[in-house]
Structure 1
Amino acid sequence: MSKLPLIEAHGLNMRYPTGRLALQGASLTVHPGELAVILGANGCGKSTMLRIIAGMQKPSGGEVRVAGQDITRLNGRALSEARMNLGMVFQHAHLVKRRSVVANVATGTLGRHRTMFTALGGLPACEFPHAMACLEQVGLTPYARQRASTLSGGQAQRAAIARALAQRPRALLADEPVASLDPEAAEEVMRLLRGLASGHGMAVLCVLHQPELARRYADRLLGLRQGAMVFDAPPGHVPAAAINDLYEGFRPS
């Protein structure tokens, strides 16, 4: 594992116009080859933190560095280019159901092809071999030419991961990627994320609501409570009581 982190978040604060404080000085790092999981109750700031790290929101304070670059100071084209280092996976796959699976994956390459053709919905033919390679990584090659609507929930989520990989990111951010899946499909997706970290050297930061999955697959567990990071340690060093405390009696402000 590299000594230099690929993702760094330092002292993140986030206060919404309503006055609600979503993050209070939260910090984390994720290194290449590492899978880190954020745990915490609904409303504790997990998804807000992930969106800030992804460059989708600006924090009220603090900074985010991706591959050493402070993305909180970037806007427009510079921010878009910096975000190419970060692939994003959400709870729902958001595939275009009428398109083939490989065409959905190829949309992950559009950040490299800003043309009138792609603006009108076209896909660059030169990227389809790369899209197929990404499908092979997630075990979906036999489904490449099928419509996305034919995939199961777990297969759709793996296709969404392949779409993120098509971007050629150095890190992957996953916001509750298994929340809508059955246990078997959830295990499959977590094994895939684990392999992308340990086998392909990616930095993977994942928000989960399943502490037992986090313990089995994560290198580090990060506990977020009321917007503050309360622990950051390998699974074997985090007692069950510390995880329970994240969820007991919590009410978002």
Structure 2
Amino acid sequence: MIQLERIGKRYGRGPWVLQDVDLSFEPGELTVFTGGNGSGKSTLLRIIAGVTAPSSGRVHGRPKSVGYLPERFPPGLRLSAEAYLRHLAAVRGVTPPTDLLDVLGFHGDPTAPISTLSKGNTQKVAVVQAFLATDLVVLDEPWTGLDTAASSVLSDLVSSSAATVLVTDHRGTARGLAGAREVVLQGRVGATGVAIELNRVSDLTTTVIGEWDGVRVVAATDGRLSLLVDATVSDRVLADALRLGCSVLSVRT
């Protein structure tokens, strides 16, 4: 059994994204995390998967074989889909997949660099690599970018997996799967305000922005920074972020 003991997370000296999270997951259980923007869903998944360390608390019982699918698959991978999946299968000590890409409807060149594939085909590779794990599969918005047929296949994979599966899904697909347990994350502040996503962000810049008044860091990965900002300071935050050399990917109210 995997147990979370008083898990908390903050970036730098910024506000807490998560605090005092106590949860447990039985072997083979399917858990769906829901909650508004800024409630800490992606952050919690990264902590459970071992990708991000918590600022406080501990994860007990994390198994050795863990598959993780981030909300945004790392760009620029030069390995081909075949080589990438073969390598990860060897690392995890399992048989390389031979047909799951085809079942998902992969139509690209499996020998081409992943960086050259379409978003949908890249997502299919990401799904396959996550399900190479035998004990724990952590999926952050896995249905994003998939066509209808591939989405159906993924639903079957999630519901039939013998591994413990943890998933976020803003579309609500996962909540309708048989046996799914829903965990609603409330976050430490209300998920209201302006959601801003920045690119070209260094670790130092993340710390600086996280200390600004009215700003809550939601996620920081691979040079990108997601913020939840009080509407009263959103214009100032955008202007200051641009002055720091960041680029703005999106602004949502």
Q: Same fold (TM over 0.5)?
A: yes
> Which residues in structure 2 correspond to 1:43-122 (within 5 Å)?
43-67=38-62, 84-94=64-74, 99-109=79-89, 111=91
Would you say 1:162 and 2:128 are equivalent positions? yes
Query: What's the CA shift for 1:224?
Result: 0.4
Deviations along 1:88-137, whole A, 9 cap, x unmatched? 1122444767644321211314646xxxxxxxxxxxxxx8x92134x448
Would you say 1:226 and 2:187 are equivalent positions? yes
* 2-structure distance, mates of 1:46, 1:39: 7
* 2-structure distance, mates of 1:91, 1:33: 22
Residues 91 and 189 of structure 1: CA distance in aligned 2, closer, same or farther (over 3 Å): farther
Would you say 1:190 and 2:152 are equivalent positions? no
- Give TM-score, length-normalised by structure 1: 0.62
* 2-structure distance, mates of 1:36, 1:131: 27
Query: What's the CA shift for 1:57?
Result: 2.2
- For residue 3 of structure 2, what is the amino acid of its counterpart? E
- For residue 61 of structure 2, what is the amino acid of its counterpart? V
Residues 111 and 96 of structure 1: CA distance in aligned 2, closer, same or farther (over 3 Å): farther
Q: Secondary structure at the match of 1:157?
A: helix
Residues 169 and 95 of structure 1: CA distance in aligned 2, closer, same or farther (over 3 Å): farther
Residues 42 and 102 of structure 1: CA distance in aligned 2, closer, same or farther (over 3 Å): same
* Pairwise CA RMSD: 3.4
Structure 2 gap ranges (5+): 195-214, 217-253
- Aligned residues of 1:86 and 1:171 also touching (Cα < 8 A): yes
- Aligned residues of 2:106 and 2:124 also touching (Cα < 8 A): no
The higher relative CO (CA closer than 8 Å, separation ≥ 6) is in 1
Picking from 139, 147, 152, the partner of 1:174 is 139
Query: What's the CA shift for 1:8?
Result: 1.7
- For residue 158 of structure 1, what is the amino acid of its counterpart? K
- Aligned residues of 1:138 and 1:162 also touching (Cα < 8 A): no
Picking from 153, 162, 168, the partner of 1:207 is 168
* 1-structure distance, mates of 2:33, 2:49: 15
* 2-structure distance, mates of 1:45, 1:29: 17
* 1-structure distance, mates of 2:83, 2:76: 9
- For residue 173 of structure 2, what is the amino acid of its counterpart? L
* 1-structure distance, mates of 2:77, 2:51: 25
Q: Secondary structure at the match of 1:57?
A: coil
Residues 99 and 15 of structure 1: CA distance in aligned 2, closer, same or farther (over 3 Å): closer
Would you say 1:13 and 2:31 are equivalent positions? no
Q: Secondary structure at the match of 1:22?
A: strand
Query: What's the CA shift for 1:250?
Result: 7.0
Q: Provide the identity percentage.
A: 30
- Aligned residues of 1:45 and 1:226 also touching (Cα < 8 A): yes
Picking from 79, 86, 103, the partner of 1:139 is 103
Higher strand proportion: 2
Structure 1 gap ranges (5+): 68-81, 113-126, 229-245
